[in-house]
Copies of this chain bind each other. A is one copy, B any other.
Amino acid sequence: MDEPMDYASAGVDIDLEGSAVASLIGALGKSVRKAGTPGAPVDLPGGFGGLIEFGDNLLALATDGVGSKLQIASALNQWAGVGIDCMAMNVNDLLCVGAEPIAFVDYVAVPKPDPEIHAALGASLAEACRLARVTLAGGETASLPGIVTELDMSGTALGWLPKGEAITGEHLQEGDVLIGLPSSGIHSNGYSLVRKVLEHGGVSYTDDAPFDTNALGREIMRFAGQQDTPISVGELLLNPTRIYCDPVIDLLNGARGDEQFSLSDIRAICHVTGGGLSNLLRLHDSLGWHISSPLTPHPEFTWLQQIGGVETREMYRTFNMGTGMIIAVSPQHAEAICEWLSSRMQGTAIIGTVVDNGHKVTHALPGVEFSHY
C-alpha cells in the first residue's frame, strides 16, 4: 500500500509556518500605545483576535486569507463562494473572543485584473457582508504579475465588544459542556491535502460527487447554470465556509438580555480551522477536552480519507470533520443554550465536556488525541 498522505507531504509544513511566525513575533517590541489610550494592546489568554483598547470598549482585528482553496476556484473559474470564505475565516475568529464583527476590507492580488472575476468577487463579498452583518469598508486590488501566478485573496475584519466582556476561556471549569456547531463542509483549511488526495485518486472537479452530499442540514452552493445537474466534486469542495455570526452574536446578546443564561455561562468559543480539534488547546493552559459524541463528519471527509489513505488522527488535525465551531458553556445552562442554538442552526448538539486530566484533546475515536497545537 502507498504511504498514507498527510498535510506536511502535501506541501504545507505547519511547524515551519509556526516557527516563521514565532520569528516575526519575537522581533516585535512592546506597543508604543500606552494602557488607557486608544489602540493600547489588551492581552487575553489564548485570544484569536488582536484586541485593543478604545474608551469603554475593546476593538478587535482579525486577518486571514482563503488559502489554497482559491486554486480550485481558479481552476473552475467559480468565485461565488470565495468572498464568503474570506469573510468567514476572519469574522469567525472575532466571535471567539466575543467580538461583534462590524466592518471588513478585502485584499486581492492578481497577475492581471479581470473585470468579470472582480464582479463575481464583489457579488460574493456582498453576500458575505449580508451573512456576517458587516460593512465592506474598502479593499485593494494589486496587479502583481511577478509575484502571483493566480488570484490570491485575503481580508481583515474589525469587531468590537464592551470592555470587560471578552470571552477568554479563563473561567473554564471541569465539567463545562461543549456544544458543536456544524460546518458546511471542508471550509477553508486543508486544501493542499485535498488537492493532493484528489490528484492521487484521479478524481476530476467536474465528476459527480459519488455520494449523497446532504449532511448536517447544510446546503451546497450550486454553480450558475448547473442547478439541474448532480452536485459535482468541485461544487462540494467550493461550498463556502459557514459564517457563525448568526447565531453566535445573537447568543451573546441574548445572554446580555433576558435569556435564562448569562454571559458568564459562555466560557470559551473555538473556531475549528487549520489544526482541527487541536485549536481547543489554545483556550486554556491546563484543562483538557473530551469529545465524546462528535457530530457526524460530512461524507466528503470519509471519502477523502479513503482515497488518500489518510490516518484518522491526521484528518482531525487538518480538517474540521463536521464541527466548525465549539462553544464551551456552564453545565447548568448547557441544555438551554444548545436548544437555543440548534433552533437557529440545525445540527447543533452537545459533543463533549471539559475535563481535568491534562492539557490535551481526546475523542471518542481511539487515536484522535492532541497535546500540542
Seen from chain A, the residues whose Cβ lies within 8 Å of a Cβ on chain B are 11-13, 16-17, 19-29, 31-33, 38-41, 49-52, 54-55, 57, 59-65, 67-68, 70-71, 100, 102-103, 105-107, 109-110, 112-123, 125-126, 129-130, 133-152, 154, 156, 158, 160, 192, 195
With most chain B CB atoms within 10 A of its CB, the pick from A115, A119, A136, A144 is A144
Please indicate the chain B residues that have their CB under 8 angstroms from the CB of A154 in the complex: 107, 109, 140, 142, 154
- Is B141 touching A21 in the complex (CB atoms < 8 A)? yes
Please indicate the chain B residues that have their CB under 8 angstroms from the CB of A71 in the complex: 146-147
With most chain B CB atoms within 10 A of its CB, the pick from A11, A29, A39 is A39
- Is B122 touching A26 in the complex (CB atoms < 8 A)? yes
Please indicate the chain B residues that have their CB under 8 angstroms from the CB of A107 in the complex: 63-65, 107, 154, 156
How many copies of this chain are found per oligomer? Answer: 2
Closest Cβ–Cβ distance, residue A142 to chain B (whole Å): 5
- Is A31 touching B136 in the complex (CB atoms < 8 A)? yes
Please indicate the chain B residues that have their CB under 8 angstroms from the CB of A33 in the complex: 102, 133-135
| Cα-based distance from A67 to B20 in the complex (angstroms) | 22
A/B interface sample: 13 pairs, CB < 8 A: A24-B139, A27-B121, A28-B122, A32-B133, A38-B102, A39-B102, A39-B158, A50-B138, A54-B102, A107-B107, A142-B154, A147-B148, A152-B152
- Is A112 touching B16 in the complex (CB atoms < 8 A)? yes
